[in-house]
């Protein structure tokens, strides 16, 4: 049965005051095209590769990869709060298959996911619980980070398992591209911020509101050309997208983590979710991207991109059936 792919950037600022209407409408139109692609594919199952922003994973135990056999949204930035529809038996089987393939992955029976996972589900499917979903956490923020090639290996192992399910599976990658939002760092965080990234804990409504205001203020400052955040790098973004469009996943094998941070920002490491998702699709042969969108969006503190893709054989088959 076929696999399909949709990778999107995410940003809490899509649903917060600040960005101008033209930007939101432009990005919204691209997301609508991706949502139409998803509707036409009509998946039986969704598998997401996504990061976390110290809402579900903390330094008390920070795995490079973790598959959720049960998961709930934390409800940050107005996203879905509560359980997701996770098929536990399939998720556990996936863990065993990935381990058998030589990729070390953790499993969680109480995974908590934030806007990085939930926002794409809501935008592409209409609701976070619209389809059964297996969430896969890919650490993209908390150093030390594994090499980018391991994300590709994870994706290939996941893709091999999904291809044998007899289901229509949509693979989603969520994150990136170049961006450097105000996320606490282990090397510099102090006080409550350091305590949170070390030990976690449930945030109160007041704490979430304060965090939201900090993000809005940082985005306004960044969009005005001031502040301490690292600039977006559209050239790097386009290089990433070109490699993915062309199926050149081997290009990422030698990209070092310090170099990615230097040229594209601390949170540019979220591209490993895209590399994993494309690795899953590429495990079944050549593919072709269809919906293609990119725009540097300082008001969102992100190089914002959308890609959808299908295996080349499926596109060829569709073409032959058309009169």
Residues annotated as catalytic (active site), given as ranges: 115, 179
Scanning the chain, the segments in alpha helix (DSSP H) are 21-41, 88-100, 115-125, 148-163, 191-199, 205-223, 234-245, 257-264, 271-282, 312-321
**Phi and psi for 74 in degrees, rounded to 5?**
-85, -15
Angle of CA points 260, 115, 61, to nearest 5°: 65
Alpha-carbon 20 to chain mean position? 24
- Peptide linkage before 144 cis (omega within 30 of 0): yes
**For strand 287-297 and strand 302-311, is the pairing parallel, antiparallel, or unpaired?**
antiparallel
CA distances from residue 224 to 146, 202, 211, 301 in whole angstroms, order as listed: 34, 33, 20, 11
Q: How far apart are CA 138 and CA 124, in angstroms?
A: 20
Rounded distance, CA 147 to CA 135, Å? 21
CA gap 303, 236 in Å, rounded = 10
Other beta carbons within 10 Å of 323: 2
* Residue 125 tokens, joined: 């499917």
Mapped onto helix, strand or coil, the DSSP state of residue 289 is strand
Q: Which residue has the tokens 């135990």?
A: 61
Q: Annotate 70-123 with DSSP letters as a single string.
A: SEEEE-GGG--EEE----HHHHHHHHHHHHHTT---EEESSEEE-HHHHHHHHH
């Amino acid at each position: 049965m076929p696999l399909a792919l949709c990778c999107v950037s995410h940003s809490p600022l899509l649903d917060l005051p600040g960005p101008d209407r033209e930007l939101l409408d432009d990005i919204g139109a691209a997301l609508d095209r991706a949502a139409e692609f998803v509707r036409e594919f009509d998946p039986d199952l969704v598998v997401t590769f996504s990061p976390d922003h110290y809402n579900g994973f903390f330094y008390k135990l920070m795995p490079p990869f973790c598959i959720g056999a049960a998961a709930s949204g934390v409800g940050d930035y107005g996203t879905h709060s509560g359980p997701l529809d996770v098929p536990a038996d399939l998720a556990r089987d996936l863990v065993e298959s990935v381990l058998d393939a030589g990729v070390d992955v953790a499993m969680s029976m109480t995974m908590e996911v934030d806007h990085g996972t939930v926002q794409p589900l809501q935008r592409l499917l209409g609701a976070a619980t619209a389809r059964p979903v297996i969430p896969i956490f890919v650490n993209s923020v908390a150093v030390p980070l594994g090499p980018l090639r391991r994300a590709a290996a994870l994706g290939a192992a996941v893709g091999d398992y999904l291809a044998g399910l007899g289901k229509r599976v949509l693979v989603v990658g969520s994150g990136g591209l170049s961006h450097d939002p105000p996320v606490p760092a282990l090397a510099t965080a102090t006080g409550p911020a350091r305590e949170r990234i070390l030990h976690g804990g449930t945030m109160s409504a007041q704490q979430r509101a304060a965090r939201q205001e900090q993000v809005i203020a940082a985005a306004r400052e960044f969009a005005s050309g001031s502040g301490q955040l690292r600039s977006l790098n559209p050239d790097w973004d386009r290089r990433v997208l070109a490699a993915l469009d062309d199926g050149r996943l081997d290009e990422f094998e030698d990209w070092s983590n310090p170099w990615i941070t230097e040229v594209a920002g601390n949170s540019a490491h979220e591209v490993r979710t895209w590399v994993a998702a494309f690795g899953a699709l590429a495990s079944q042969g050549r593919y072709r991207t269809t919906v293609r969108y990119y725009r540097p969006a300082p008001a969102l503190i992100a190089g914002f991109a959308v890609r959808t893709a299908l295996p080349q054989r499926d596109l060829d088959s569709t073409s032959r059936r058309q009169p």
